[in-house]
Amino acid sequence: MAAVTDTDNTYSQGALHINMTNITKLNTTNFLMWSKQIHALLDGYDLAGYLDRSKPAPSPTVTTGGLV
């Protein structure tokens, strides 16, 4: 079996990969169930605070060394 190295990693560490395969598709009759699933998913990734504004929104631009 081949050894796993850092070069085998195809995903960047900063990327967020959300598994939406088990989320119910929203329709006219299931908003409550869909909403609870989405909020649980966002809680799991520590993102729910951005929706209820308990966390401040990140800056719309990234500045590194004076460059935007």
- Paired tokens of 66: 């004076």
Residue boundaries of the structural domains of the chain: 24-68
Tens of pLDDT, residues 12-60? 444 456 667 778 899 999 999 999 999 888 888 898 999 889 999 888 8
Q: What is the pTM of this model?
A: 0.56
Residue 13: per-residue pLDDT: 42
Residue 44: per-residue pLDDT: 86
Confidence band, pLDDT 50/70/90 cuts, at residue 11:
very low
Spatial neighbors of 55 by CB under 8 A, at least 6 apart, are 49
Residue 17: per-residue pLDDT: 60
Exposure on the CB side of residue 3, measured as CA atoms within 13 A? 2
